[in-house]
Structure 1
Amino acid sequence: MEKRHILTTLTAVALLSSSAMSHAFSLSDVASAFGGEKSEQVATQIAENPLTKALVSDLGVKPDQAAGGAGALLAMATSELTGPQGKELTQLIPGAEKLTDSLPLGLGQLLGSKENIDKVFSLLGMKPEMVNQFVPVVTQFLGEQGASNELLGALSNIWAPAAPAAKK
């Protein structure tokens, strides 16, 4: 298992450092990583996730883009949050682990900076500016799920640096 983790991390680093991303990832790419008959089931679970559905509905993105973008933001948040807020976040989103698992090649482990969030969005076929559109939808979704003001405040602080600066 340790060897697989190291290989995944090295592959993710190579992808993140590559300047030429030739294609976007899709749910079928994600699902095929799980292999066998379960791949279709995993793709369906990701597409049917309530947060994924909200992002697709509100932003008009594809299910794989919604899942990957939300997964990137959630991975960043879970790496920053500790204690009760971290636990609260994972309890509020049904299937949160599927969203973070939907990131290309385990990139969720490396998401701690705006640049890496931007790269994940690019890998998913979206412009980095889409982060600005994802954050309020995810935050609203969490609020509707009963997130505490403390959690929402912490997420605002975590995700604020992830949003690209407005161009003048």
Structure 2
Amino acid sequence: MKTVSSLTLTAMLAMTGCASSGLNMNDAVQIASAVDASMPAATPGTTRATISGLLSMLGSTNTSSTQALGGTAALLGLAQSKLSTNEYAQLATAVPGLQQLTGSNAVTQLSALGLLNGQSASPTVLSKALSNTRTEAGVDQAFSTLGMDTGMVEVFSPLLLQYFGNQGVSGGVLQSLSSAWGTEG
């Protein structure tokens, strides 16, 4: 797995429309520094690369980094409950570090990255919302807790499917994800 440096992450975020997504260049630099500082030395590049890739992919959604990662966590929580154990394992293998961003695990990552400061939802409320994403209603609640309209699920889903496809997730798993999220495709 290739390690993504702070400079590379900052450049990726800048090129993917940080300014229009609620992220500015200062935010990108801070996130890149936090990602570098928060990732254990034993797992260089795994969660860091996944976070940078997801932020890059979701840069066009006019969401904050907290909303982007939190929305991803909510959808991954639903995917984990809807996909077979084998399918979810294939997804997690193809996208290293994904388990750190699934459901309430994301609250730990968001806290470590300093992305919960100033959020209207406390880490406890957010953790509760993200731990209850086994149903579509739970995902909707998580999106609402993050300050997003539930219609954003329809925006996130195809982007995540595209990102996962680019990471080598098999067509069968992508189809199962599409079904779990109610995405046309």
Task: Sort the TM-score into its range (normalised by shorter chain).
Answer: 0.5 to 0.7
- Point out 4+ residue stretches in structure 1 off by more than 6 angstroms: none
| Residues in 1 aligned to 2:82 and 2:177: alpha-carbon distance in whole angstroms | 9
Q: CA deviation at 1:115?
A: 1.4
Match of 2:76 among 50, 68, 74: 74
Write the mapping of 1:100-115 to structure 2, written as runs, cut at 5 A: 100=102, 101-103=105-107, 104-115=126-137
Which residue of structure 2 aligns with residue 20 of structure 1? none
Equivalent residue pairs, number: 123
Write the mapping of 1:1-168 to structure 2, written as runs, cut at 5 A: 41=38, 45=48, 48-55=51-58, 57-100=59-102, 101-103=105-107, 104-160=126-182
Amino acid at match of 1:145: Q
Q: CA deviation at 1:90?
A: 0.9
Q: Pick 1 or 2: higher relative contact order, CA cutoff 8 A, min separation 6.
A: 1
Paired-residue identity, %: 30
Q: Structure 1's 65 and 148: CA in aligned 2 closer, same or farther, altered over 3 A?
A: same
| Residues in 2 aligned to 1:46 and 1:146: alpha-carbon distance in whole angstroms | 14
| Residues in 2 aligned to 1:157 and 1:126: alpha-carbon distance in whole angstroms | 22
| Residues in 1 aligned to 2:168 and 2:133: alpha-carbon distance in whole angstroms | 25
Q: CA deviation at 1:93?
A: 2.4
**8 Å Cα contact 2:143-2:149 kept in structure 1:** yes
Indicate the RMSD between aligned Cα atoms, in angstroms: 2.8
Q: Which has the higher helix share?
A: 1
**8 Å Cα contact 1:76-1:112 kept in structure 2:** yes
